[in-house]
Chains A and B, each alone.
Chain A
Amino acid sequence: DVKVTQSSRYLVKRTGEKVFLECVQDMDHENMFWYRQDPGLGLRLIYFSYDVKMKEKGDIPEGYSVSREKKERFSLILESASTNQTSMYLCASSFPGPGGETQYFGPGTRLLVL
């Protein structure tokens, strides 16, 4: 079974702090994704990466950056956390198929910024 793990299930940070969210997958997938999920808004894509050291902006990249130094690890960085970044953050990895990407998600990190 594909396993996607995230470093924390719950995190509390203060405004202005630098926050690192880590994601690791064990299936040698090329592609990895970071989403945030907020009530009534569904999942929104922040960044994705299709190879080591490669990254692409998603729909809402402002206030975030990412790092992919190794294939299995994709980090999301909040340079200076703000209260509007309080959310559930979901990491996913995927492999391509004829039907597009089949994504496997981690359990999520619920971040509270005070």
Chain B
Amino acid sequence: LAKTTQPISMDSYEGQEVNITCSHNNIATNDYITWYQQFPSQGPRFIIQGYKTKVTNEVASLFIPADRKSSTLSLPRVSLSDTAVYYCLVGSGAGSYQLTFGKGTKLSVIP
């Protein structure tokens, strides 16, 4: 399982775009990158998943460079309700049942 490294914490003002970068130098060819969001006293929630280039959904965008050794979760115009811990995971469906959650990035949105 590829190990991931993220910043421990980030602060942002409301309305700003937030970019959280995750490094995964040992990512395997079959691995995808997945991000989860966790609010206090709740379980993590799936946000977005991608393999290469760019993926966008109604919540976020995920940018993955050609070498795939890192990825960036982009949250447009954050609000106070985006205050949460964000986890970056790397894995594949090739016989791999478990995912490894690191310590995540605690995002604090300031009014």
Contacts and interface: CB of A to CB of B under 8 A. Distances in A.
Nearest to A6: B43
A21 to B, nearest CB: 14
Contacts of B104: 42
A69 B49 CA distance: 32
Contacts of A74: none
Contacts of B87: 42-43
B111 interface: no
A50 B97 CA distance: 7
Interface string A102-114: 1111111010000
Nearest to B42: A107
Contact of B97 (A4, A31, A41, A91): A31
- Main secondary structure on B side of the interface with A: loop
Contacts of B93: 96-101
A81 interface: no
Interface of B: 31-34, 36, 41-46, 49-51, 87, 89, 91-93, 96-104
B43 A105 contact: yes
Given A42-B101, A42-B104, A43-B101, A99 B46 contact: no
Contacts of A98: 32, 51, 92-93
Nearest to B90: A100
Contact of A99 (B41, B42, B45, B51): B51
